[in-house]
Amino acid sequence: MGQQRTLALDAMGGDHGPEVIVPGAAISLERHPGLSFILVGDEARIAPVLAAHPALAARSRIVHTTQVVAMNEKPSQALRRGKGSSMWLALDAVRTGEAAAAVSAGNTGALMAMAKLILRPMKGIERPAIAALWPTINAECIVLDVGANIGATSRQLTDFTLMGAAMARALFHVERPTASLLNVGVEEVKGAEEVKEAHALLKAVELPLDYRGFIEGNEIGQGKVDVVVVEGFAGNIALKTAEGTARQIGQYVKDAMMRTWLSRAGAFLARGGFRVLKEKIDPRRINGGTFLGLNGIAVKSHGGTDALGFASAVDLGYEMSVSGLIERLAADLETFHHRLDTVSEAPRQEGTAPAPGS
């Protein structure tokens, strides 16, 4: 049956609200029968949709609120409106221990602002990051940050690396995940100073991961490493570019296969292979970004996804909650920061310049 876990869902989040969130939860429940749900939102909208899924209804309770954070609302506005929104209440259920994770398809900026306020950053973490699963030739890798922050210091990039490695251990079940920093080249002289300084720190300190140096954008999809680290501005552009390219290639293939009667016949014969390709590049299959670096699990789903895509985000929340991610990450960060401080202090004791990023 799997481990028992309760997840809090922002049932009003995203472009479609309960009409997608509830069926998505039903799909995830079929995969993980140990799940139960707190559905936060307008009961008048949730209840009729929930009634169509008896198995889910038996494992769910509704927390009613009519307050909803709009998709175009500024984070500051969402915070000023107080504690009554469906997004806030879902996150607060994690803080109080009622839920093991919160999942929302709502406004990303508002969700990050609320999550930081309610769940609080972990000790030593300056900025949480959004980590996303990325399809590769081999399987999947984790890329972070994909949009939580604009810019990052060398210290923050090293923290992102630790956080990504902890997530990789939780999801990929590898004890020493491989990790790289995304850069404009693999040579050590290339890149922004913050990236080069983070590279030096990651090489200088013993870590519970296998640091492989720099990686370029065209190598992410080759599956060379488990974790790719980048600041949020470039990471978000890379993510959106990859999603758009996947759709573009899919359209190219479809148009080519429908061009003539001979190509249509070939497409019919190769339909099994095309089905596999479609599943591999389908963004719904790996939908969901995790806010790492907080004292609790919050998962962000794409706002425009369908029920199958939202189910993937719920699956991610469940898998993160049963993995012991938060406890392991807290231990990793404490050990890492202690070692980093030791490395940074050593040059000062010798009367030389401090280590990069100190």
pLDDT for 243 = 75
- Whether the model clears a pTM of 0.85, i.e. scores above it, the answer is no
pLDDT for 208 = 83
Sheet holding 5-10, edge to edge: 60-64, 35-41, 5-10, 101-104, 298-300, 289-292, 129-135, 140-144, 227-229, 178-182, 210-215
pLDDT for 76 = 86
DSSP for 24-40, written as a single string: HHHHHHHH-TTEEEEEE
Phi-psi category of 342—alpha, beta or left, where left has phi over 0 and alpha has psi -120 to 50? alpha
In the block, tokens 């552009």 appear at 237
pLDDT for 351 = 46
CA distance 257 to 245: 18
pLDDT for 279 = 62
* Domains recognised in the chain with CATH numbers: 1-120+294-323 (3.40.718.10), 126-288+325-358 (3.40.718.10)
Please give the radius of gyration of the chain, using alpha carbons only, rounded to the nearest integer: 22
pLDDT for 25 = 97
- Print pLDDT tens along the chain (358 aa): 568 999 999 999 999 999 999 999 999 999 999 999 999 999 999 999 999 999 999 999 999 999 999 888 888 888 887 789 999 999 999 999 999 999 999 998 899 999 999 999 998 888 899 998 888 888 889 999 888 888 889 989 999 999 999 889 888 888 899 999 999 988 888 888 999 999 998 988 888 899 999 999 889 888 899 999 999 888 888 887 877 777 777 777 777 777 887 777 776 666 666 566 566 656 667 777 889 999 999 999 988 889 999 999 999 999 989 988 888 888 878 777 777 777 666 554 554 444 444 4
pLDDT for 282 = 60
Cβ-based neighbours of 204, under 8 Å, separated by 6 or more? 343, 355
Cβ-based neighbours of 295, under 8 Å, separated by 6 or more? 119, 120, 121, 122, 326
Cβ-based neighbours of 46, under 8 Å, separated by 6 or more? 11, 18, 22, 39, 62
pLDDT for 16 = 92
